[in-house]
Structure 1
Amino acid sequence: MIVAAAENDAIGKDNKLIWHLSDDLKRFKNLTNGHHIIMGRKTFESFPKPLPNRTHVVITRQDNYKVPEGVIVVNSLEDAIDASKKDLNPFIIGGGEIYKQALLVANKIELTRVHDSFEADTFFPKIDASIWEETSNVSHSRDEKHDYDFSFLTYIRK
């Protein structure tokens, strides 16, 4: 899984990101480039167009959901994982409900922790320290390109 979440686990509001952190977007691009990205319909619809050099797998309950050519549509997280099985490192990219389901099956979380709290309508589930071990923590201070302090954290399932 890959996510940017605030201290209060906020990840979005009105189907939009709450902040713009240049280094976080670069990290997302670098890590997901060339991989399958699994997401819910609302997350997919938040993009102006499919992201380049990634295979999009969209989970929706809607029948006959229309997507651009090359986008895979499935009805469950299990089907999304199955559709991504040729990729040794697919990424689950949201939203909130998909993250909740994926927390049960994922083996790694790439988290950008934004060191502030925000009003939101979508949240990342709590990370249970008895299940997940933090293996990397790189801090970044606020600067001219970043309005907030943030950290890149990696968690591996114990």
Structure 2
Amino acid sequence: MIAAAGEDNSLGKDNDLLWHLPDDFKRFKRLTSGHKIIMGRKTFETFPKPLPNRKHIIITRDKNYTVPYEACTVVHSLEEALDLIDNEDAFIIGGGEIYSQGEKHANVIELTRVHGNFNADTFFPKIDEAIWEVVATEYHPKDEKHKFDFTYITYKRRES
């Protein structure tokens, strides 16, 4: 899974992000390029068009939902989306409900922790430190391009 979330696990409000972090966008692009990305319909609809060099798997309950892009596949459950992943890296990219469903299937969480609390209507699931172990962190202070401090945190699922 890959996400940016506030200290309170806030993700977004009204289908929009709560911050603009160009370096986080670059990291997202670097990590997800060349891979399949799994998302809910609302997350997909926040993009002006499909993200380049990625296969989009869009989950929706709407059996009549279609998109006119070759790079996109529409499915109707997370399990159906996961069936399209064949021994390869893929990323769950949101939104909140898809993250909640997907956590039990994930082996890595790439989280950008935005240092602040935000007025949100969508949240990332609470990370259980008994299940997830921090294996890398990188702090990024606010600057002229970034209104908030943030930290990249890589979690790996603990061996059971």
TM-score under structure 1 length normalisation: 0.97
| Alignment partner of 1:23 is 2:47 | no
Q: Give 1:85 shift.
A: 2.0
Runs of 5+ in structure 1 lacking a partner? none
Q: Give 1:93 shift.
A: 0.1
Show the 5 A alignment for 1:86-125.
88-125=88-125
Q: Give 1:83 shift.
A: 1.3
Show the 5 A alignment for 1:51-130.
51-70=51-70, 71-85=72-86, 88-130=88-130
Q: Give 1:68 shift.
A: 2.0
Structure 1 consecutive aligned stretches of length 4 or more whose deviation exceeds 3 Å: none
Residues 50, 69 of structure 2: 8 Å contact kept: no
TM-score under structure 2 length normalisation: 0.96
Runs of 5+ in structure 2 lacking a partner? none
Q: Give 1:51 shift.
A: 0.5
Following the alignment from structure 2 to structure 1, what is the Cα–Cα distance between the partners of residues 24 and 82? 25
Q: Which position in structure 1 is the counterpart of 2:140?
A: 140
| Number of residue pairs the alignment of both structures matches | 157
Following the alignment from structure 1 to structure 2, what is the Cα–Cα distance between the partners of residues 13 and 60? 19
Secondary structure of residue in 2 paired with 1:24? helix
> Structure 1 counterpart of 2:121, which letter?
D
Following the alignment from structure 2 to structure 1, what is the Cα–Cα distance between the partners of residues 39 and 85? 12
Q: Deviations over 1:98-124 (max 9, x none)?
A: 000111110000000000000000000
> Superposition RMSD on alpha carbons, in Å?
0.7
Q: Give 1:23 shift.
A: 0.5
Q: Give 1:35 shift.
A: 0.4
Identity %: 62
| Alignment partner of 1:152 is 2:146 | no
Following the alignment from structure 1 to structure 2, what is the Cα–Cα distance between the partners of residues 97 and 16? 15
Following the alignment from structure 1 to structure 2, what is the Cα–Cα distance between the partners of residues 142 and 68? 39
